[in-house]
Amino acid sequence: MGITAVFFPACAQPGMSDCRVRIVCKQPSMPRKRSATPTLAVLSGPAVNQFLDLNPPKRIEWVRRLLAHKTLLILLAETLKIPNHIKQDCLDCGVTIAASRFDAHLASSRLLSLRFERLLKTVSLPGVVIEIDGRGVMIAGPSGIGKTTAALRYIKCGANWIADDVAVIQKRPGDGLIVSGHPRIRHCVWTDSHGVQTLESLNEDIRIKRCTPLKAVIDVRWDSVDTPQWAHEETSILGVKTKKISCRISNTGYLDENLLKKMVTDL
């Protein structure tokens, strides 16, 4: 979340099992109706400047108004540190405050991701997912390295298509991981020649499944190597240890279906 500083008064309210994230673009921007849902307030750059310029009585009044709307955290976007007088105000009001170098939209996005990961036991990661013999394999790596193209060609051998671009991973009872595609783009892929396309428009016999158990991750990166090299490792997703292959290919090369097939066989 780009956090650079956190101040947590001992009297601050504890975390809640559910919450929402709200971006505050100007001060004193407040909802008309009080929310029953705990809120994480992210102050945009302009709102931070207005907040810091308030005189002490008005600043404390505004913080207390936030608390009245069940605000658990005030996050100052595009800020590297928390001024001492602000810490004192938060100590007096019993609210947690943090500073983030990220802008408000990126910080709020990270907070939402953290909420899904910690509270709903779900995380979204960039990658392509296919299912091979009932096992989900996620292919990760930088944009343009060939993940989607290699996966589309590979599934002609009998694999199932799960997701492109975004893999939604959820922890299930028994410490297993289930992976699916994002609901809005589950049936879409990105191709260099035509951009975003639906799988149906490719005129190919592609078997699509909604979800599958995630059993392995193949992470492909460009590097200064002449021939592809890979090593077996282990990664942790939502606290679950998962098989991982770290693959390095030439800086001028791309992932193809033959290399993908070799790594899948090696799993």
Three-class DSSP category at 106: helix
Q: What is the pLDDT of residue 132?
A: 93
Same domain, 61 and 25: yes
CATH number, position 55 = 3.40.1390.20
Per-residue tokens: 170 = 């959820």
CATH number, position 245 = 3.40.50.300
Q: How far apart are CA 118 and CA 136, in angstroms?
A: 23
**Per-residue pLDDT tens digits for 249-259:** 999 999 999 99
Q: How many domains does the chain have?
A: 2
Same domain, 196 and 219: yes
Q: What is the pLDDT of residue 22?
A: 79
Q: What is the pLDDT of residue 71?
A: 82
Q: What is the pLDDT of residue 193?
A: 63
Q: What is the pLDDT of residue 29?
A: 53
State the pTM of this model.
0.63
**Per-residue pLDDT tens digits for 49-86:** 888 888 888 888 888 887 777 788 888 989 988 888 88
From 86, 118, 150, give the residue that closes a domain: 118
Q: Domain range spanning residue 142?
A: 122-266
From 72, 102, 118, give the residue that closes a domain: 118
- Measure CA of the first residue to CA of the last residue in the chain; give whole Å: 33
Q: What is the pLDDT of residue 120?
A: 66
Q: β-strand 128-132 against 135-140: which pairing, if any? A: antiparallel
* DSSP H or E segment with residue 109: helix 104-118
Look over the chain and give the mean of its residue pLDDT values, rounded to a whole number. Answer: 83
Q: How far apart are CA 124 and CA 144, in angstroms?
A: 20
In this prediction, the residues of the chain whose per-residue pLDDT falls under 50 are: 16
Q: Which residue has the tokens 């109706």?
A: 33
Same domain, 101 and 132: no
**For 59, phi and psi rounded to 5 degrees?**
-65, -45
